[in-house]
Structure 1
Amino acid sequence: MNAQPTDQETPAVQVMSCCAPAITVTLSDAEAAQLADALSLLAHPIRLRLLAILARNAGHVCVCDLEAALPVKQPTVSHHLRLLRDGGLIEGERRGQWIYYAIRQDALATVRLLIDQFFASLTPDKA
């Protein structure tokens, strides 16, 4: 005999949705693109070393000194300097036949702020 459970015998099951619409997006498409551009600009050892050299030396640093400080050839240094300049993180000033580079502190502060805001948004709110 097949015994069918009656309504009183059937246990109550509460189905919870696993995908509740309580997600808030804290990073817009434009903000994500801006942060990704900044991070990709920083995501190379030579560019990081260039920024470190420029940060440690107040004022402008001659390109010849930058080339001498790195284990790569001049075209590679020039390429990475161009990327940093095009990305707005450094500025160059021609003095005679040499170019002197310096960090743009305002641009670096903006990148730092973007990164700080992004990682702060990853921390769950304490209720």
Structure 2
Amino acid sequence: MESYAQTTRVLKALSDPKRLEIVDRLMEREYCAYELLPLFEVTQPTLSHDMKVLSEVGVIKQQRKGKNVVYSVNREVLEDVVHHLNVIISK
């Protein structure tokens, strides 16, 4: 993790319960947006906003497969945050 600022951005993005649940689901497997939408009681624009927030801080990756966008977790970013927090806690 490069800085406290990056860790803070990731933690802020994850501080929303719905976003944290999205990440939890994506830890199991990749999902298309149309597969995620029925799992949450939100509108498509709301889900798109949450995916954008998570993507902007690097927590999720997106890849176009045909007409669909497939989302997956960027485990490196999460591991960096955990490492950074462990360094702070171990002092």
What TM-score bracket applies, with the shorter chain setting the length? 0.7 to 0.9
**TM-score, L = length of structure 2:** 0.87
CA RMSD of aligned residues (A): 1.5
Query: Which has a greater percent of strand?
Result: 2
Task: Report the Cα distance in structure 1 between the residues aligned to 2:7 and 2:78, rounded to whole angstroms.
Answer: 12
Deviations 1:23-50 (A, max 9, x none): xxxxxxx843233222111110111011
Following superposition, which runs of at least 4 residues in structure 1 exceed 2 angstroms of deviation? 30-35, 118-121
Residue by residue over 1:55-80, the C-alpha shift from the partner in whole angstroms, topping out at 9 and shown as x without a partner, is: 122xx211111111111111111101
- TM-score, with structure 1 as normaliser: 0.64
The alignment status of 1:61 with 2:31, answered yes or no, reads: yes
- AA matched with 1:43: S
1:115 is displaced (CA, Å) by 1.9
Query: CA 1:95/1:31 → structure 2, altered by over 3 Å: closer, same or farther?
Result: closer
Larger relative contact order, structure 1 or 2 (CA cutoff 8 Å, min sep 6): 2
Q: Larger Rg: 1 or 2?
A: 1
Which one-letter code corresponds to 1:66 in the other structure? L
Gaps of 5+ in 2: none
Question: Hey, what does 2:78 align to over in structure 1?
Answer: 108
**Alpha-carbon distance between aligned partners in 2 of 1:70 and 1:120, rounded to the nearest angstrom:** 37
In structure 2, C-alpha distance between the alignment counterparts of 1:107 and 1:46, rounded to whole Å: 19
Shift of residue 103, structure 1, vs aligned partner: 0.4
2:6 aligned residue: 34
Query: What is the aligned length?
Result: 90
Flag the structure with higher helix content.
Answer: 2
Query: Which whole-Å CA distance do the structure 1 matches of 2:55 and 2:16 have between them?
Result: 15
